[in-house]
A and B are shown apart, each in its own frame.
Chain A
Amino acid sequence: MITQAELELLEQYIDGVLDENDVERLRDVLRDNSGARAKLRSLATVEFGMQDLAASRDAGSLDVVSELAVASDIEPRRRQVVQPTRSWATTLRYGFVVAGTFVATILAMIGVQGTWPTPSSSPDSRVEVARVATVSSLDNCRWGNGQAFREGDRLPVGSLVIESGAAEIWFDGGARLILQGKTECRVESAGSAMLLTGKVVFHGASDDTFDLRTPDSILVDLGTEYAVSVTGEGEEIHVFEGEVWRTAREDQQEVDFISAGDARRYRRGDARGSEQVALSESFVRGISHKSDSSAPRGDQLIASESFAYDDAAILTSGKAQGGLGWAGPWQGESRSLSKEPAADASLNPSESLQFGKLSGTGGCMTVSGNIAVHRTLREPLRLDLDAVYYFRVIFHEDAGANEPSGTVFINFRQSEAVDRNPARLVSGLKPSRMLFARLQGTSRARSTGPVNGTGMFVGKIVARMHQPDQVFLTVLKPTDPLDAEPERWTLSGDPTDCPEAFDLLAIHGISRNLRIDELRLGRTWRSIIKDDDLSDIR
């Protein structure tokens, strides 16, 4: 039973007009009164049903009811009102709209994945070989089944076998799995995987959905870090952060909520359910860039430039041929109406920018005015293939008490473009720290990096042969960790098809006092972060 006042609270909740005090009162009522909860569900059903019927009955205009009288003793409401839902058509058309919504949703999924989203039990059937994840880090990893993936390799849908060591796999959906040998795991899509046997640590973000399945369970996370171990006898789930919902595959009504600090063991075929176990420290929860790599870093670094030159005016002279991975010297570009090479792209040979624990070498490029320089890469960026690229540059601007006004762009384009409007990838940091990326379409996001002083502008390009490509950008502060790539990129560009190869890298800067240094381009995070021992680069 509920009182009249409690019923009014429920109605006001449905109408969305409660203030915070009343919400608190409502919680008290609902917490202790099952009848109130049942009444709320019934009220919600009536509310939904009214919207549904209004949509299906083609109600027409309001003119007919304008003469309706209203009682004069009505008390005013306190807060904003809720908008009724939009108009729908007849029942038959409503059915099509429901189906159409579903179809549109599935078509949207096709647009992202490039193929019909088949049920996950048959990921390899009727689907092109899509690359949906990247090997981001390895730690003495020995692959099985004749596999030989390296850091930076893009992974197709299919099986992964690790005999020993560990591998960190970054899924395009945003989740990270660390596989610990001996393990067999099946990559099913950008947002799902199946652990058949072995150990996995999962890192996710709260607004990304990732399905991890095992022979006995379906696991759903909420902003979580957890580990799963699967053997022939059953499995264990250890939750380090967040919460995991474990649904039994046999009986999907059976759901366990496992919170941070808890661990559970499920024995296969045991009807008694699960037992609590101690949280284990034996799982590999991260692979830092200091770990041994199975591949020399030299294979993964594509180009670097530390501006180690003696002549301050060398950048636009055609003689600046230092650094590694380039097919020619730096060249100046005109940024003025006169079409003459810019005179403001200069060097400070004696200053090198430092970023946290990364110490620079050589000098740095100084930007005073509107300058641009470019250089040809020995190895182009191939957006027509499956690949991942990382790039970074350290920058410093003394903006004083004002908002930062400098702009720095790292652009990729074709040295011999045929089209009048050739494709190009533009990425940069605009005034007031607005990140900017353009690859066919344009994306923007405000950076959380430093307003003044030194920052690291970092980008990641995920190139996909059969699906749209994507650009990610962020700005790091000197105090940010560099052990692994950022879990969250400030700007996630819209997926865009761009089947081009870019062999030209250009730096464009506009500022009164901006310095740029330590440019790196590579296939892995590790390759663009480590500064020591460049001598093994080809």
Chain B
Amino acid sequence: MPDEQAENLENADHDLFVRLIMRHDRAVRAYLRSLLPTAADVDEVMQEVSVVAWRKFDQLGDQQDFPRWVCVIARYEVLMYRRKKARDRLVLGEEIEHLMADEGLQELSLRQQQLDALERCLDKLPNERKQLVLKTYAAEQPMKTIAGQLGKTPAALYQILSRVRRDLLACVEQTLAAEGTS
């Protein structure tokens, strides 16, 4: 194949890959978050997933399979990551992680629907509560510092966030039930 033609083909592959990984990034990260104990772990594993998925991109058949295909890669990367973190007290164990990963693969479209519903539910929160949650999640400081700035204990702030998260989850589940998609 002439060099220019090969280069154009390679650039097209790259563009397609970037579009696909950006389109499905949130769902894949949500899938990872259910398998990993912290957001930082998700970031770390997602980097590896991106690299491996690009390297194996020529093995993908149908583009429609991309989210499930990349989640299979993500599952491998989680298990490798888990081996490194075997002494982490928050590791759930191989048996449970297999169950979570397998069942999670069946729920990829549900993940996306939940994320879409979450945005609508967030906007239904009272403004003060919404602002607190967004600013706390967006802040670059540790929870202890944020709590101090608000004049509260970390435990108190944690309780607020926990209640809001539970309310949001209930809202998301009700929304999807009403739409007939849960």
Contact = CB atoms under 8 A, between A and B. Distances in A.
Interface of A: 7, 11, 13, 15-20, 23, 26-27, 30-31, 34, 37-38, 40-55, 57-62, 64-66, 68, 70-71, 74-77, 81-88, 95, 98-99, 101-103, 105-106, 109, 116-122, 125-126, 192, 206-207, 209, 211, 218, 220, 222-223, 245, 247, 249, 252-253, 255
Given A27-B93, A119-B57, A206-B84, A68 B132 contact: yes
Contacts of B104: 41
A61 B135 contact: yes
17 contacts: A7-B166, A13-B37, A30-B96, A31-B96, A41-B100, A42-B172, A44-B30, A44-B33, A53-B118, A57-B138, A59-B134, A62-B135, A68-B150, A71-B159, A119-B57, A211-B55, A223-B83
B7 to A, nearest CB: 7
Interface string B7-44: 10010010000100110011001100110011110110
A376 B144 CA distance: 62
Contact of A64 (B59, B79, B131): B131
A18 B89 contact: yes
Contacts of B25: 98
Nearest to A82: B38
B122 to A, nearest CB: 6
Nearest to A255: B72
Interface residues of B, number: 94
Contacts of A11: 162, 165-166
B6 A126 contact: yes
B134 A30 contact: no
B73 to A, nearest CB: 9
Interface string B157-182: 11110100110110011000000000
B111 A45 contact: yes
Residue among A18, A53, A122, A125 with max Cβ neighbours from chain B (10 Å): A53
Contacts of A209: 48, 52, 80
Please provide the 5 A-B residue pairs with the shortest distance between their CB atoms, ordered closest to farther: A54-B137, A119-B58, A54-B138, A59-B138, A44-B34
B79 A81 contact: no
Contact of B140 (A13, A58, A86, A218): A86
Contact of B59 (A37, A101, A218, A223): A218
Given A16-B90, A125-B6, 7 more contacts: A15-B158, A15-B162, A37-B99, A70-B157, A75-B159, A120-B55, A255-B72
A77 B155 contact: yes
A57 B59 contact: no
B124 interface: no
Interface string B85-121: 0000110110110011001100100010011001100
A54 B132 CA distance: 10
A118 B14 CA distance: 9
Contact of A47 (B13, B40, B68, B165): B165
Contacts of A220: 76
Main secondary structure on A side of the interface with B: mixed
B138 to A, nearest CB: 4
A109 B51 contact: yes
Nearest to A208: B80
Given A46-B172, A68-B150, A120-B58, A41 B80 contact: no
B120 to A, nearest CB: 11
A34 B95 CA distance: 13
Contacts of B131: 59, 64-65
Contacts of A13: 37, 90
A120 B2 CA distance: 19
Contacts of B89: 18-20, 23
B69 A252 contact: yes
Nearest to A88: B138
A77 B154 contact: yes
Contacts of A255: 72
Given A31-B95, A37-B103, A68 B128 contact: yes
Nearest to A66: B150
Given A27-B96, A81-B143, A253 B54 contact: no
Nearest to B143: A81
B72 A48 contact: no
Contacts of A15: 158, 162
B103 A50 contact: no
Contact of A48 (B29, B129, B136, B146): B29
Given A85-B39, A102-B50, A126-B6, A37 B100 contact: yes
A88 B157 CA distance: 22
A85 B64 CA distance: 31
B149 A206 contact: no
A53 B7 CA distance: 37
B56 A40 contact: no
Contacts of A253: 68, 72
A30 B133 contact: no
Contacts of B51: 105-106, 109
A343 to B, nearest CB: 51
A316 B92 CA distance: 64
B72 A83 contact: no
Interface centre among B34, B50, B57 (most CB of A within 10 A): B34
A287 B79 CA distance: 31
A30 B92 contact: yes
Nearest to B52: A209
A61 B151 CA distance: 15
A81 B154 contact: yes
Contacts of B69: 252
Contacts of A192: 55
Nearest to A251: B61
B2 to A, nearest CB: 11
A106 B11 CA distance: 13
A45 B138 contact: no
Nearest to A257: B98
B93 A106 contact: no
Contacts of B68: 253
B83 A43 contact: no
A51 B42 CA distance: 12
